[in-house]
Homo-oligomer: A and B are copies of this chain.
Amino acid sequence: MRFLPDGKVDGSILAKRVFPYLGSLQDEILVGPNVGIDAAVIDISKLSGMMVVSQDPITGAGKNAGFHVVNVCANDVASMGAKPMFFLSTIIMPKGATDDDLEEISKDIERAAKEIGVSIVGGHTEVSGKVSDLILSGTMIGFSDRYVSTSGAREGDDILLTKGAGIEGTAILAETKSEYLSKYLDLNLIEKAKGLLNKISVVKEALIASSLGANAMHDPTEGGVLGGLHEIADASNKGFEFYEDKVHLYSETKSICNILGINPFGLISSGALLVISPKEKTNSIIESLLKEKIEVSIIGKVTKEKRSHERISQDELWRILDTKL
């Protein structure tokens, strides 16, 4: 173990601590990460005609940050109906970071990349006195022959939700507020809640729903399921009915939200996917998802008129993280 000096991390360290962890390699990569190579070259001649790109940072998500950044970027790409394929990550570590820390981050990025079949093709790694915690910034590139967006919802469409509300928020709260929660909850339940992070990928369900004709999709992140519903409705210039009691909540989510006084529908929800389905396609989408063991329920309907539902101005997570418990 050694401390890394300020500035761009040296190629000899990257070769040992980063380049061995590049996820699922793919044939299209003509030039991948290497010392002295500043850009990746990818053969796109056999890929579908539409490229979908998303960029997102993770600012201090603790020890799962690498896993997290790959998944949030992949979810954005898959929610447009494209298969995530190539990932670039910029890793900015605070002073005092070691080569062991860097390898942990690389392994964490690779774990997520392998689960969804993505290659890491480039990025940048440095130590900077300008950050007090790990800052990751990722870019995911995917390909598809059609796309769905948040703006495609039509009157009468069903609104489906996979897995459950508040998955990501539940895991983050279990991690950051575990001491307080352990006064009220069983430790097993808190550990199970942390484990919900492993459910945050929506790539599989997004590609199924898109291939079966979803009109719009959205992975509800900040602002939770309610925020996601509003984003779809606003982008599509429609309203929605919301069947609160139909939304699945994991028991860990219920317990933690109860104790912290949190509305689970306004809690950051990566891991759940909102699918806007034409009525005639709803059954086949639900059947295909259940066949893949992905829970799903109908939680609402798209309406012509805009209706007044509660708007979430700030994610419940930030409200609670700022509260001294």
Chain A residues engaging chain B, CB cutoff 8 angstroms: 6-8, 30-31, 34-45, 47, 49-57, 59-60, 76-77, 79-80, 82, 86, 88-90, 92, 121-124, 126, 128-133, 135, 137, 139, 141, 147, 149-150, 218-219, 222, 231-232, 234-235, 314-315, 318
Contacts and interface: CB of A to CB of B under 8 A. Distances in A.
Contacts of A7: 222, 314-315, 318
B39 A80 contact: yes
Contacts of A31: 80, 147, 149
A92 B124 contact: no
A264 B59 CA distance: 36
Contact of A35 (B51, B53, B89, B235): B235
B39 A50 contact: no
In the A-B complex, the 9 residue pairs with the smallest Cβ-Cβ separation, listed nearest first, are A45-B49, A36-B231, A137-B137, A39-B54, A38-B76, A55-B88, A139-B139, A130-B133, A59-B128
Given A30-B50, A36-B232, A137 B90 contact: yes
B124 A55 contact: yes
A50 to B, nearest CB: 6
A141 B42 CA distance: 11
B86 A53 contact: yes
Contact of A41 (B45, B123, B137, B147): B147
A132 B129 CA distance: 8
Nearest to A313: B10
B8 A130 contact: no
A50 B57 contact: no
Contacts of A47: 44
Contacts of A129: 132
Contacts of A121: 53
20 contacts: A36-B150, A37-B150, A38-B76, A38-B219, A39-B53, A39-B79, A41-B52, A41-B80, A42-B50, A53-B88, A54-B122, A55-B124, A92-B137, A130-B131, A130-B135, A131-B131, A131-B135, A132-B132, A135-B135, A137-B137
